[in-house]
Structure formats: C-alpha cells, structure tokens
A and B are shown apart, each in its own frame.
Chain A
Amino acid sequence: MTEVNEAPEGASRGGDVAGAGAEPLLKLRGIDKHFGPVQALYGVNLDLPAGQVTGLCGDNGAGKSVLTRCIAGAHQPDHGQIYFEGKPVHVRSTRDASALGIETVYQDLALADNLDIVQNMFLGREQLRYGLLDEDSMELKAAETLSTLRVTTVRSIRQPVASLSGGQRQSVAVAKAVMWNSKLVLLDEPTAALGVVQTRSVLDLINRLRDHGLAVMVISHNLNDVFEVADRIAVLYLGRMVAEGPAADFDRQSVVEYMTTGTANGRPYESAAAANGKG
C-alpha cells in the first residue's frame, strides 16, 4: 500500500509529451466556476498525464488555486466535466478525491504542529488494531514512505512537526499526499516559503514523484522552478487557460507574456506540433 506507483512503461521525462494517443490521467473540459459576481474560471481545459509534471502558471488571482480546489473536491465546478482515467467523475469532497487517488498539498500545508510526523501523515486514515491505534505499523509505513522519497534529513519520525524546518514540513506534507497509492498530486506553491537548499530538495522530491509514475501538477510563481521540473506548462490568465503544451514550446519570456496579457508576441498560443501541421 505504501509503495508509490511504479512508472508505466515508456513514461519518461521529455518523452512523448502530452502522451499523444495515450489518455491523460486527468482531463478537465470546460470547467466554469464563479463566486457570486466573480467568474473565477471560464471553460478551462487541462490535461494532466501520468509520469509528467505540469507546471501551472498565472498571475495573482488568475484562478490557479480555485482550479486546484475544483480538482481536489474542495469546490464544485458550475459547469464542465472532469475525466479521470478516461471516465467522467464527480469529485464532491476531499474523500472522493482521495478515493480516486488525487491528493493535494495546499500552500499553507495545514499540518498539526503538536502532533508528530507519523500522526500527521495518518491524520484521517489512522490504522487500527483491535479498535486501537496501531502505532507500530503506522510508524513503519511512514518511515517506508519517507525513505522511498529519500526524505532522510528528519531526526525522528516521532518529533512534532513544529520542530521541523520549512523544507522538512513541505516534505512531510508531500509524503503524506503520496502515501495512499495516489496517482495525481497537486502542489500549490510548494516552494514559496523556502530557501535555496530547501527548494532544491522539494524540486528533487517532485522529480522523484514523476519517476514513480505519478501525475503531478505544480503551481509556482517562480519560473526557474517551473522550467526546472515541468514537462508541460499551462498558463491561466484571468480565469482562462491561454496556453497549455509541452515545456519545450515555451521560454521564460513567452510564459511571462501569457501570464500578463494572455498572448505572446500578440498571438494566442498554438502548440508547436499543431503549428507544424498534425502528423
């Protein structure tokens, strides 16, 4: 149960991006979401293929967090359809999302400071033995997951998370998310509060999730981070998905333009593959 999924054959970095032919793990089609008079998302389409990291960019208020919460079951889209493994699904709650294998690490992490690493990782999914908490097996599984992800800097998995550094807390939150046979992990600004070294270790962690065959979506303001880990890039501009394609289609300049104007060089996004004429 603890083992993170193995990568499916052929999924690899920079490979057949967007998995031409292969069904993406998660597909969003025409997602609308409004809050009162505020339209946060307009007909958003997005593909999140397994074994690839998708970087989601966008200015403040573009709708990145709302989109994440729609996938995570924390918001219900007004219109549109979510497909998971090719099948239309309704994600009505965090539990629904977990049942599908979708886990979310929010920007503020929301860890319980007085509880230790094991307790945090198992919060809501405690293992029982004769009706009592099975501390031993939870401890073992937590240690397994952390070592699988090579999170080895923590002194003890029984220390309260209040005593961890920012990067370690982020790692615990990510480990918590991938421990449950997750297939898709959504990370909202995972490096925003971190220093250089800690950012490095979180990016390594993201690379490892990809290597294990998970689909990953990373929201980040930091384009260095995005270009470092993303296989695909998607840009939201005022609630619309203005660009979505392989990272190779983008450079820093064009991403910034899409983020701030919705176009690059005055033209809307067109994937390089489409531009070359479909093969």
Chain B
Amino acid sequence: MAGVKAGAEIAAVPRHRALWLRSQAAVRDLWIGGVLLVLIVAFSIDSPYFLTRANWLNTSSTATEVLLLAVGETFVICSAGIDLSVGAVLGVSGTAGAWVMAHGFPNAAGAAIGPIAVGFLAALAVGTAFGLLNGFLVAWAGIPPFVVTLGTLGIATGFGYLLNNGQEISAIPPSVVTFGNANLGGWVPVPVLITAVITIWCGLLLAKTRFGAYTLSIGDSREAVVRAGINDRRYLLEIYTLSGLLAGVASILVMARLGAGSPTSGADDNLNAIAAVVIGGASLFGGRGTVIGSVIGTGIIAVLLTGLVLVNVPPFWQEVAVGAVLIAAVYIDQFRNRKATRR
C-alpha cells in the first residue's frame, strides 16, 4: 500500500544518453553545417576572390537581411505556419521609415538624432503592425497563414509603392548611411553585429523558454496545447508579430546600408528566408526547427548567391538555384517525416 518510492528505476535513463538524445537537432545542424563548409571550400577553390574581405563584407550584408527574416520565419514555420509577407513588409517598413525622415524633418541636419530615431521607430512600428495584423487574422479569424500572409504581401507591397509613387526615398540624414556601413576593425560590419545579437537572443528564445516551447508545441499539436490550458491564440499573435518586428529591423539595416528606403528592397528575400529556414531543418509541418539551423541555412543561401556570381554564373541563375534548393529541402523534409512516423 505504501507509495512506491521514486528513484529506484531512474537509472533506466542514463544521463549521458539523455543529453545526447536531447541534441538530435544538433546532429542535423552539424550535417548541414558540413554542407555549408563544402560549398565554401568549393567556391574558394574555384575563385580566388571568394575568401577575400570584399566578398565577406558583400556576403555578410546579404546574409544579415535574409537572416533577420529567416529568424522570424523560423518561429512561424515551427508553429506550422508560413509568413509570405516578410519581404514586402521589409520593403514598406523601410520606405515608411525613410518617408518619415524625409517628410517629417525636411531640414534635418546630418546627425540629428531625433529625426533618425523617429524614422527608425516608424520602420519598426510598420513592421510590427503588419505582424500583428497577420497574427490576428491567423489566430482569431482562423484564416490559413498562407492566405493571410499572401494577402498582406499584396497589401504591404501596394502601400510601399503608394508612399512615393513606387520610387525609393533617399532624402535621409547622411549619418544613417554612416551607421549602416560602419564596421569594426574592417571585418565586422555593425549590421552584422546587430543581427548576431538579435539572432542569439532569438535562438535562446526558441530553444530555452516557454515561448519557444509553445511555438514548437502549437506547430506539433495545437490540440495538445489547447488542452494544456495554454492560450494558443496569444502565442500565435506574438509569433507573427515577432516576424513583422524583425522585418522592420531588417528594413532599417537595408535602408542604412543603401542610403534609401525602397519598396522593392525585400522582394527577393522572401524566397531566400523561407528556403534558409527549411534548409536549416525546420519542418513545414511544424514542431521542429532551430535558429542555429536557420543561421546555417542562411549561410548556404548567401554563399550560393555571392559564390555563383564569383564563378561567373549569370546572376539570374541565383534565384533558380535557391528555388531548386528549396524544393529539394522540402522533399528531404517529407522523406524524413515519413521515416519518423513509421513505428
């Protein structure tokens, strides 16, 4: 009758084994990390320019925009959703930020911190607002994420064009450009640094916090989440809002690098970001994915994009390559899924 004393049989789970299994995702990350390495080696054998400072700066600045979108997209995809609007939201956020700086403060001096701050805040606010809209429509209106974000993709693109008749806005304080192209020791661009900090923070958020656990659980079994008494809608709203906010951050870095807010600046990044996440091992069915995986996936995309140019492949082939890699990654994911559910 006495309660069975716990402890006797815990040995069934040896610690080292448990730790190892906990990091199954890490094994996957290692694997695609190897692919990235092979690509780097192959390109640097093919082109003497690949491993140069100029190419690193070029590749890393491409990678930062894609990575910020990919990090937000990681959360969305882990929750079994998709955000097709991030590229367009990047475009409209940057344009809106530039518009505020150009029109709100027409006489702004080069280093006026006030107008710059207001412009940056405007970009963040627009990104966040689109994220909130996506999240609200997905969580409360119950519209499939694909449809919601395809719609907001159109809306964001249209508003981006409306702001300045489809033209980019370059009348922004010059110190913004100084900031966007600043560089520590010649090798560490400030945007890369900012992106790295945000990425690490989001990596912890997904892997180590309740928010991350619920993101994965919602994608895995929304029913289980609801029955556990978790407010699934609130978390979905937050997930899409995070994605929009990160698109806003990316828009600031792009605007600061190029010295202009352009409605089309994120147009290609949508495909790249989603491809990066899927290559990084996140499942489009939800429930599985890591930020580190998306970082490596972004690395693969960025290396492909800049490397193909260096080895004299015409630039239009870039998108072809990314598209093909995306399809291959999804195919592998489905294959993996089928294997996993086979008992």
Least distance between A13 CB and chain B CB atoms (Å): 10
Least distance between B306 CB and chain A CB atoms (Å): 34
Chain A CB within 8 A of B313 CB:
no
B 177-217 binary contact with A (CB < 8 Å = 1; else 0): 00000000000000000000000000010001110010011
Given contacts A144-B7, A156-B17, A158-B22, contact A98 B229 (CB under 8 A): yes
Contacting residue for B209 out of A116, A125, A132, A145, CB 8 A: A132
Residues 148-179 of A at the B interface (beta carbon under 8 Å): 148, 150, 152, 154, 156-160, 162-163, 165
Chain A CB within 8 A of B8 CB:
yes
Interface residue ranges, A against B (CB under 8 Å): 2-7, 12, 93-95, 98, 106, 108, 110-116, 119-120, 123-126, 128, 131-133, 135, 139-140, 143-145, 147-148, 150, 152, 154, 156-160, 162-163, 165, 208, 211-212
Least distance between B216 CB and chain A CB atoms (Å): 7
B3 A114 Cβ-Cβ under 8 A: no
B21 A114 Cβ-Cβ under 8 A: no
Q: Which residue of B lies closest to A98 (CB)?
A: B229
Chain B neighbourhood of A120, CB < 8 A: 224
Chain A neighbourhood of B343, CB < 8 A: 162-163, 165
A2 B21 Cβ-Cβ under 8 A: no
Chain A CB within 8 A of B13 CB:
yes
Given contacts A93-B229, A120-B224, contact A133 B1 (CB under 8 A): no
Chain A CB within 8 A of B141 CB:
no
A157 to B11, CA, bound (A): 11
B22 A3 Cβ-Cβ under 8 A: no
Given contacts A113-B341, A158-B18, 16 further A-B contacts (CB under 8 A): A6-B3, A108-B223, A110-B223, A116-B21, A119-B213, A125-B228, A131-B209, A133-B213, A144-B10, A145-B6, A148-B4, A148-B6, A156-B21, A157-B13, A162-B340, A162-B343
Chain A CB within 8 A of B320 CB:
no
Chain B neighbourhood of A160, CB < 8 A: 340
Q: Which residue of A lies closest to B212 (CB)?
A: A133
Contacting residue for B18 out of A3, A7, A157, A212, CB 8 A: A157
- The CB with the most chain A CB atoms within 10 A, among B2, B6, B22, B209, is that of B6
Q: List 26 A-B contacts (CB under 8 A).
A: A3-B6, A108-B223, A110-B221, A112-B217, A112-B221, A112-B224, A113-B287, A114-B287, A115-B217, A123-B213, A123-B225, A132-B204, A132-B208, A132-B209, A133-B208, A133-B209, A135-B22, A147-B8, A156-B13, A157-B13, A157-B18, A158-B18, A158-B21, A163-B343, A208-B4, A212-B4
B10 A140 Cβ-Cβ under 8 A: yes
Least distance between A26 CB and chain B CB atoms (Å): 19
Q: Which residue of B lies closest to A96 (CB)?
A: B229
Contacting residue for B227 out of A94, A115, A128, A143, CB 8 A: A94
B 1-37 binary contact with A (CB < 8 Å = 1; else 0): 1111011111011000110011000000000000000
Chain A neighbourhood of B290, CB < 8 A: none
Least distance between A178 CB and chain B CB atoms (Å): 12
Interface of A is mostly: loop
A120 to B220, CA, bound (A): 11
A2 B6 Cβ-Cβ under 8 A: yes
Of all A-B residue pairs in the complex, the 6 with the closest CB atoms, nearest first, are: A124-B228, A114-B287, A147-B9, A112-B220, A158-B21, A144-B6
A121 to B133, CA, bound (A): 33
Chain A CB within 8 A of B109 CB:
no
A160 to B12, CA, bound (A): 17
Chain A CB within 8 A of B51 CB:
no
B220 A115 Cβ-Cβ under 8 A: yes
Q: Which residue of A lies closest to B21 (CB)?
A: A158
Contacting residue for A124 out of B2, B21, B229, B341, CB 8 A: B229
A154 to B208, CA, bound (A): 25
Chain A neighbourhood of B311, CB < 8 A: none
Chain A CB within 8 A of B162 CB:
no
Least distance between B203 CB and chain A CB atoms (Å): 12
Chain B neighbourhood of A208, CB < 8 A: 4
Chain A neighbourhood of B12, CB < 8 A: 143, 147, 152, 154
Chain A neighbourhood of B210, CB < 8 A: 126, 128, 133
Q: Which residue of B lies closest to A164 (CB)?
A: B343
Chain A neighbourhood of B221, CB < 8 A: 110-113
